[in-house]
Structure formats: C-alpha cells, structure tokens
C-alpha cells in the first residue's frame, strides 16, 4: 500500500515529512516523491527506489524549502515504475499538486475528456488524471474543486492536494483508503497511518469515506464531497513510539516474532474467566444470542490471515460444533455465495484494510450475514464495517511478513470457538481446563524462542536448496501453508505447503535427493499418519525437518533435524508449531542476503483487488 505524509504549519517540513515517510516504508513501495511550496511556487522531486534514493536526489538539488508540503511512497498499479509515474503529480494549468493512494477506476474516460480539453499528460497514472481534473474545475477555491472532482470519480482514494494560488492550504479526502489528520499546535500532519503522525502529536482524527478536510495553520474544516459540514472526533492515538521502533532488534520481523509471548498475553488479558469457566468477549456481547444460534460460519481473509482463518474453521467446527468454512475473500465475493439464515461471516485481517476481505465482508452482509471482525488495527475499514468484533491487541505490526498478527488471530479465534462452545455445550470445567492451557501458551512460546540460534544453524544447512515442502495434517495443515508462505515471501525460495496426505496425489513426484521437507509432527490425533508420510518422503531421498513435541525421541530416528515445541492440546498447537517456521524463514532471508522487512514486490497491506 502506498504511503502519504503531508504537513502544514510553521516548521520547514522536508525533513520531518521524510521522517514520517520512513515510518511507512514497511508498507512496500517502489518509488518516492516530495513536494513543498515556497513563495507560492511548488517544487517537486521524485525518484524510483527507496526513500534513501529520494534523500540523495534532494541533496543533489539542495533540498526543497517550505512550511507546507506532501510526500508519498508509490506501489505501482497504473503505469510502470518510473520517475514520471511517481507521486506527487501536478496539473498543467492551475498549479495543483496531488498525492494519491488507491485507484481511480474511471480514469480512462476522464482522461479522454481532459485531453479533449487540451490537457497534456506526462505520466501513465490514474492519479495525474485526478490532478488535471481538479485543475480543470479550479475556480479560486481548492476545497470546492476537490469536492467537485471527487463527485466525478469512481474508485478508491486517499488524497492530499495543494495549489499555488492558496499557499497555506492542504485539502485531503478519503474513500476506501485510510487517511488520518494529526492535530498539533498550529500545525497539522496528514498521513495514511498514525505511525507517521505520533512523533508530532497524539491527537488525531480519521476521515470517513467521502469526507474532505481543508487544513491551514489556523485550523481545519471537514465536510462531505457534497459540502455538507461534518464534525470529526479527535481522539488519542493508541500508538507509542517504542512500539514502532526497532529497539535492540535488527529487523521488525525479528522484533515481532520475539514479541509474540507478550502480544499474546495482551490478546488474552481480561477475556478469560477461569473461576466461572467462561470466555468474556465484550466486543460481541450484544450479538451473543445470534452468534450462538449460528448454523454456518464463513471465515474470510487473504494470505496469512486466511491461514489463521482456516485454523479458526477447524477450531469452531471441533470445539463449538458449528459448520464452518474458511475462504479467500477474493473468491468468496465473486462466486455468488449462498448466505442462509443464521450465517455469520468472520473477516480476519491484521490491517483491516485488505480490499478483497473487505469486499467479501460487505457482500456477505448485503446477503444477510451477521458480520464479525477479527482485526488488529482499531478503527480500520473492516472494523467499521462489522457488526461486532474482537481486536487482536498485538500492537502495530510493521514487518511485511505477518507473525504476531498470525498468532494473535489464532488466539482470538480460539477464544471465539471456546465462547461459542461454552454457550452451546461445553461445561465450565472443560472450558476452565482449556483456559488454563491457553494461558500457558505465551510461556511455552518463550521456550521455543530460546532455540533461535539452533534454528539458524539448521536453516543454514539447507540454504542452497531452492524447493521446499511444508506438510502437516489437521490443525497443522494451515500451519504448513503459513510456513511455506513465510519462506517464499521473504527469502524468495520456492516452497509449497499442503496437507501431508495430499503429497501422494502428485507432489511426491517433486521429491528428489536432498529436498527439504518440513513436517509439523507434533503429538495429536494424526501423529502416526504424519510419521508414515515422513517415511514416504525419506525413502525417496527427501531431507526431513520435523517440528515435534518435547519428549518425542522416536522422531529423531526419522528426521534429519528436529525443532521441539512444548506439549499443548492439539487445538492450541499451531500457535507454537508456527514459531520455528517463522524463525526459519527469517534466517533464510538473512542468509540469502535479502531485506527482511521490505521483501520485493510486496506491500504490507493490499488495498487493491
Ligand atoms: O492485513 P491483512 O491481514 O488483511 O493482510 C492479508 C495478507 O495480505 C497478509 O496476511 C499477508 O499474507 C502477510 N503479510 C504475509 O506475511
């Protein structure tokens, strides 16, 4: 997802905006740009590559001056990765300058209209079309021109605009792409994420869809694109700097893997009642009855969130005995889904902004489902669309590779499954036993993390292998998928995850001498079957890396390398078995010399289809 930072106030803003932009680098991008206004003239500098490249370019031109400006990181959608396609974009008549997150869907027809009016375009982007359109409609009032232009637009946008004729004004607007306004003392920071604001002020408000804000050093005015005034709710940002800084860690992914025990304690805090043997979920309270009566639960998400959702499917079916199914948001939304009475849709998402998950949720809601969110980012689009929900409370996740959000999602889905089970058939004693086990998971995770150095040594043994398999069964089939995804997305090693039994139906042909096969082989209902699958791979020359339960000595006779995890009930095991896989992916990326936190072609949050 692209990043936006803009400033108006009394300070020279180049460096402070770039600082903010660096905090958004984790979101993934391929070019960066900045514009400031000084003495009524807009200066734009942009380049492909990192923010560091932009800083170099700024140094060669002597920097840009001004107490008003905007900067942007672009993740290419329309038009390739080139300097002209980077943001900010300007118009050719009215002195308009604009940055944009999202996609203008009707840009082609608007472009034709503007070309017929004589406008000349310099880029292939949809964003430049919007800059030109605002310029075309500008008649001495930037706010009015932005409102008018946005009434002509279909698609998604978070935009910030300035105009040479109004040298103290920024206008910003949102539809489907988050934008926050930080309210300081005589200064304002507009950003696509609170982490770029928090160094300046902890007071901020989020724009809602179809809202516009006009900001000057003296104050702000919010309205709709139809110019109906609205009053935003200025709130305290729930982020502290420590959470978004590396501290003693080398990478955010590493920090977030190691933060998991603490994050999980936070997720569980106040949500379990061991004495009463029950789960307390304030966020779903008013829908408790409807939830308990659910006949079918559809869990939806993408990527890692879908893997967590699939574990949720197993948990809800196994513990609460409700028919449940996990599905990609991108598939669900277009398949003309059947939503019967008493269907609940659960959207699982770290960011709460994933376009496909959001669209699936809306689709299900429109067809009558009750909508539940399992989301990390408070106040995000998915959180706002749902009827009820349970936040992850794992803190901001900066690393592109999702780690603590995954275990947080699984923990929340475990709570939801137990909540439903207890209201349907589970006894207080049974529930209290599960809570006891659940509350020990963070300590047990800490023990696994102590094995970090050995995980690195083992990973090093296989680092030259270009194809890996990840295999698991039952609750740990989705863990296998997650292990494979982690490895491929940051180390660029080809990896496939699948149910261990599926291997014989084709993928077994891939196994050759020395191919690493990672088996999640913890104790559980299907342990013996996993052991047979291990034998099948081993006898064909595969190298076995097993994740097994502490005390399992037998596995050592089969596996080349073993990572042990403490014993837990099978349904809780994915929160532990995934940890060595996360560490392996992290070390593999480092050993291959890749940028762990900024993997190629990836964006932290995918807000386009
Ligand atoms: O923000 P979300 O959880 O909705 O994001 C969904 C996926 O893009 C995300 O889980 C992705 O697969 C992970 N970052 C990969 O590690």
Residue 351 CA: nearest ligand 1 atom is: 1
Domains of the chain: which residue ranges?
3-242, 252-446, 452-591
Q: Is the pLDDT of residue 470 over 90?
A: yes
Question: b/e string for 204-243 if b means 16 or more Cβ within 10 A?
Answer: bbbbeebbbbbbbeeebebbbbeeeeeebeeeebebeeeb
Q: Is the pLDDT of residue 468 over 90?
A: yes
Pocket mutation for ligand 1, best pick of 402, 412, 600 (most atoms within 8 Å of C-beta): 402
Of 271-275, 336-340, 354-358, 521-525, least confident by mean pLDDT is 336-340
In angstroms, the CA 448 to CA 438 distance is: 16
Residue nearest to atom 10 of ligand 1 (CA): 304
Catalytic residue, from 46, 278, 598, 604: name it. 604
The helix/strand/coil state of 89 is: strand
Residue 402 CA: nearest ligand 1 atom is: 16
406 φψ region: left (φ > 0), alpha (ψ -120 to 50), beta (else) = alpha
Mark whether 431 is an active-site residue. Answer: no
Instruction: Find the residues whose C-beta lies inside 6 A of ligand 1.
Output: 301-305, 349-351, 354, 357, 400-402, 485, 489, 605-606
Helix (H) or strand (E) holding 132: helix 126-137
Q: Is the pLDDT of residue 1 over 70?
A: no
User: What average pLDDT does range 331-349 have in this prediction?
Assistant: 93
Residue nearest to atom 12 of ligand 1 (CA): 303
How far is the centre of ligand 1, averaged over its atoms, from the C-alpha of 445 (Å)?
Answer: 22
User: What average pLDDT does range 467-484 have in this prediction?
Assistant: 97
Catalytic residue, from 2, 13, 97, 431: name it. 2
Q: Please, are residues 536 and 503 in contact by the beta-carbon 8 Å criterion?
A: yes
| 297-329 pLDDT per residue, tens | 999 999 999 999 999 999 999 999 999 999 999
Helix (H) or strand (E) holding 345: strand 343-349
Helix (H) or strand (E) holding 328: strand 323-328
pLDDT value at position 571?
Answer: 98
In angstroms, the CA 388 to CA 152 distance is: 33
Mark whether 2 is an active-site residue. Answer: yes
Question: b/e string for 559-575 if b means 16 or more Cβ within 10 A?
Answer: bbbbbbbbbbebbbbbb
Q: Under CATH, which number does the domain 252-446 receive?
A: 3.40.50.10490
Of 144-153, 242-251, 580-589, least confident by mean pLDDT is 242-251
Pocket mutation for ligand 1, best pick of 253, 302, 380 (most atoms within 8 Å of C-beta): 302
Residue nearest to atom 8 of ligand 1 (CA): 303
User: What average pLDDT does range 541-560 have in this prediction?
Assistant: 96
Q: Is the pLDDT of residue 254 over 70?
A: yes
Please state, for a pLDDT cut of 70, what percent of the chain lies above it.
99
Name the residue among 271, 199, 307, 592 with its Cα closest to residue 419.
Answer: 271
220 pLDDT tier (thresholds 50, 70, 90): very high
Asked if the domains at 3-242 and 252-446 fall in one CATH topology, the answer is: no
How far is the centre of ligand 1, averaged over its atoms, from the C-alpha of 316 (Å)?
Answer: 22
Higher-pLDDT residue of 248, 586: 586
How far is the centre of ligand 1, averaged over its atoms, from the C-alpha of 239 (Å)?
Answer: 20
Name the residue among 602, 404, 408 with its Cα closest to residue 490.
Answer: 602
Q: Under CATH, which number does the domain 452-591 receive?
A: 3.40.50.10490
In angstroms, the CA 272 to CA 412 distance is: 11
Q: What is the mean pLDDT of the chain?
A: 94
Residue 400 CA: nearest ligand 1 atom is: 14
| 5-34 pLDDT per residue, tens | 999 999 999 999 999 999 888 777 889 999
Residue 486 CA: nearest ligand 1 atom is: 16
Q: What predicted TM-score, i.e. pTM, was given to this entire model?
A: 0.81
598 φψ region: left (φ > 0), alpha (ψ -120 to 50), beta (else) = beta
pLDDT value at position 608?
Answer: 67
CATH number assigned to the domain with residue range 3-242, chosen from the 4 options 1.10.579.10, 3.30.200.20, 3.60.20.10, 3.40.50.150: 3.60.20.10
Residue 403 CA: nearest ligand 1 atom is: 16
CA angle 242, 48, 214 (to 5 degrees): 65
The helix/strand/coil state of 553 is: coil
Name the residue among 483, 519, 482, 484 with its Cα closest to residue 501.
Answer: 519
CA angle 491, 494, 496 (to 5 degrees): 120
How far is the centre of ligand 1, averaged over its atoms, from the C-alpha of 600 (Å)?
Answer: 15
How far is the centre of ligand 1, averaged over its atoms, from the C-alpha of 402 (Å)?
Answer: 6
Q: Residue 557 burial by CB count (10 A; 0-12/13-18/19+): exposed, middle or buried?
A: exposed
Question: HEC states along 499-524?
Answer: EHHHHHHCHHHHCCCCCEEEEEECCC
Residue nearest to atom 4 of ligand 1 (CA): 349
Please state, for a pLDDT cut of 90, what percent of the chain lies above it.
85
Q: Is the pLDDT of residue 88 over 80?
A: yes
pLDDT value at position 79?
Answer: 86
Residue nearest to atom 7 of ligand 1 (CA): 303
| 95-139 pLDDT per residue, tens | 999 999 998 999 999 999 999 999 999 999 999 999 999 999 999
The contacts of residue 176 (CB under 8 Å, 6+ apart) are 102, 155, 156, 157, 209, 355, 381, 607
430 pLDDT tier (thresholds 50, 70, 90): very high
Pocket mutation for ligand 1, best pick of 350, 352, 356, 609 (most atoms within 8 Å of C-beta): 350
């Amino acid at each position: 997802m692209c990043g936006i930072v803009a400033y108006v106030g009394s300070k020279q803003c180049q460096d402070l905006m770039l600082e903010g932009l660096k905090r958004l680098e984790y979101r993934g991008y391929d070019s960066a740009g900045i514009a400031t206004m000084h003495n009524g003239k807009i200066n734009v500098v942009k380049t492909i590559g990192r923010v560091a490249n932009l800083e170099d370019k700024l140094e060669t031109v002597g920097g840009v001056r001004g107490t008003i400006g905007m900067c942007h990181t672009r993740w290419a959608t329309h038009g390739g990765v080139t300097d002209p396609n980077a943001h900010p974009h300007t118009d050719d008549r009215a002195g308009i300058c604009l940055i944009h997150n999202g996609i203008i869907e009707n840009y082609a027809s608007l472009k034709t209209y503007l070309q017929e009016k004589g406008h000349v375009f310099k880029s292939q982007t949809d964003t430049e079309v919007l800059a030109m359109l605002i310029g075309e409609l500008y008649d001495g009032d930037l706010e009015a021109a932005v409102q008018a232009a946005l009434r002509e637009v279909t698609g998604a946008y978070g935009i910030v605009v300035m105009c040479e004729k109004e040298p103290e004004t920024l206008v910003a607007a949102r539809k489907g792409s988050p934008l926050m306004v930080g309210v300081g003392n005589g200064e304002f920071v507009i950003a696509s994420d609170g982490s770029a604001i928090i160094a300046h002020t902890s007071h901020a408000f989020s724009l809602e869809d179809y809202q516009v804000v006009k900001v000057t050093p003296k104050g702000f005015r919010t309205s709709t694109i139809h110019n109906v005034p609205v009053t935003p709710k200025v709130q305290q940002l729930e982020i502290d700097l420590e959470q978004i800084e590396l501290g003693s860690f080398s990478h955010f992914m590493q920090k977030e893997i190691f933060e998991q025990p603490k994050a999980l304690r936070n997720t569980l805090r106040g949500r379990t009642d061991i004495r009463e043997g029950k789960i307390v979920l304030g966020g779903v309270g008013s829908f408790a009855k409807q939830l308990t009566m659910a006949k079918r639960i559809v869990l939806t998400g993408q990527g890692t969130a879908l893997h967590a959702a699939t574990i949720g499917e197993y948990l809800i079916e196994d513990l609460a005995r409700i028919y449940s199914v996990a599905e990609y948001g991108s598939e669900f939304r277009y398949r003309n889904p059947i939503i019967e009475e008493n269907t609940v849709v659960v959207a699982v998402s770290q960011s709460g902004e994933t376009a496909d998950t959001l669209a699936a949720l809306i689709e299900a809601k429109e067809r009558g489902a009750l909508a539940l969110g399992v989301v990390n980012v408070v106040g995000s689009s998915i959180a706002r669309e749902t009827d009820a929900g349970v936040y992850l409370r794992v803190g901001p996740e900066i690393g592109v590779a999702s780690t603590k959000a995954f275990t947080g999602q699984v923990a929340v889905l475990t709570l939801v499954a137990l909540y439903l089970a207890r209201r349907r058939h589970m006894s207080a004693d049974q529930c209290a036993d599960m809570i006891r086990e659940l509350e020990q998971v963070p300590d047990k995770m800490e023990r696994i993390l102590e094995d970090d150095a050995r995980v690195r040594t083992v990973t090093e043994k296989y680092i030259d292998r270009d194809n890996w398999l990840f295999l698991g069964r039952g609750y740990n089939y989705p863990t296998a998928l997650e292990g494979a995804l982690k490895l491929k997305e940051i180390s660029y090693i080809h990896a496939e995850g699948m149910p261990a039994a599926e291997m014989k139906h084709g993928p077994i042909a891939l196994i050759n001498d020395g191919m690493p096969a990672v088996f999640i082989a913890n104790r559980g209902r299907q342990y013996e079957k996993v052991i047979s699958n291990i034998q099948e791979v081993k006898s064909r020359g595969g190298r076995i890396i097993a994740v097994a339960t502490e005390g399992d000595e037998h596995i050592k006779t089969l596996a080349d390398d073993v990572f042990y995890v403490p014993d837990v009930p099978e349904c809780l095991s994915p929160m532990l078995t995934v940890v060595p896989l996360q560490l392996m992916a992290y070390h593999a990326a480092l050993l291959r010399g890749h940028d762990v936190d900024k993997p190629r072609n990836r964006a932290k949050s995918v807000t386009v289809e």
